Structure 1
Amino acid sequence: MVERVPATVTWGLFAAWVVHDAEELATMARWSRSARPRLERLFPPVPWERLEVSQAHVTVAIGLMGAVMAAASAEGARTGGRSPLFQAALAGFGAHGVVHLAQAALTRGYTPGVVTSPLVVIPFSVWAWRRLKAAGVPVDAGPPASLAAFPVLAAAVHGLAHALTGRGRTRIRRPGRA
């Protein structure tokens, strides 16, 4: 028997993403500057100066990813969770949470998103998959293509944010200010 998938599963993905990315929005730009000396000592070959981002860059990148997540959630709601786009976004979101935990372990400290990953991202993802299965929705067990696509999507979002805001570290100048 196929049950109806509640909106808490489909639109819940977008809501969980908003909570998680609010943490990233509030911390990423400042963290990328303040953590850089420590990261340069831990991992000298990495070009950390290229990875430092401005608040404008972070805001645009999060807005772009938000559009993707909203579209995936809407498609999930429209199809009762059966959409490959929705399931790929859900898989990528859950994996993204695990990546945050690994990043924090590797860098031996806080990284943006690590607080909401074990509290929101991972629990929501596990719960949503369970609800889909309980509702009789065919799920793509371990969609490797969607997991491989996630870093590509993240790079594209950051690349577009870079193009829209200029060099990642530059600040947007306000009229009348130098």
Structure 2
Amino acid sequence: MLNNTYRDPGEGAIKYANQVFEGNSRVEIEMMLSALLKGDLNKAEDKRVKRCDYCNYWFCDDSLRNTCRTCCDDCKISYKTLQRRKQRAEKAFLNPKPKKETKSDLYLWWLEYPCWANEQAMIEVGWRFEKPMSARKMDYVLSQQEKYGKGNRKKKAEIINYNGNELE
């Protein structure tokens, strides 16, 4: 899997870069860095030098059978996580879970005259928004509205002028 995106280099990639740049000055390393990333500094006959599948940097495979595809265990874990995420996404795309029907799905809001398809669902969902009240509770609410008005502020008490002059 050859890609052009570089992630944080793994331990194996850092170890290989240290081997390649050993004994060079900082200026020489800066000039050689692009050649290392392209793979120009690798020896063609060395089959142990590969690109890491996850971080995409060059590394030297130290395994017995030369079968490693990642430069370190951290890259291997991250690569497997990426594979699982991709597999889950493909599985969810190809075989989506059916959406569980809820009671609020039975409200047909898109019609010209919205209505409920099931009366029981209307009662079970609607009670949260329109709670029934007793006559006594309704009388209390109306008296409070008269006393305080529609908001939460109490009306100011009227000052009655007993002199008979209402203009003051």
Interval of TM-score (by shorter of Structure 1 and Structure 2): under 0.3
In terms of Rg, which structure is larger?
Answer: 2
TM-score by length of 2: 0.23
Greater RCO, 1 or 2 (C-alpha within 8 Å, sep 6+): 1
TM-score by length of 1: 0.22
Greater fraction of residues in strand? 2
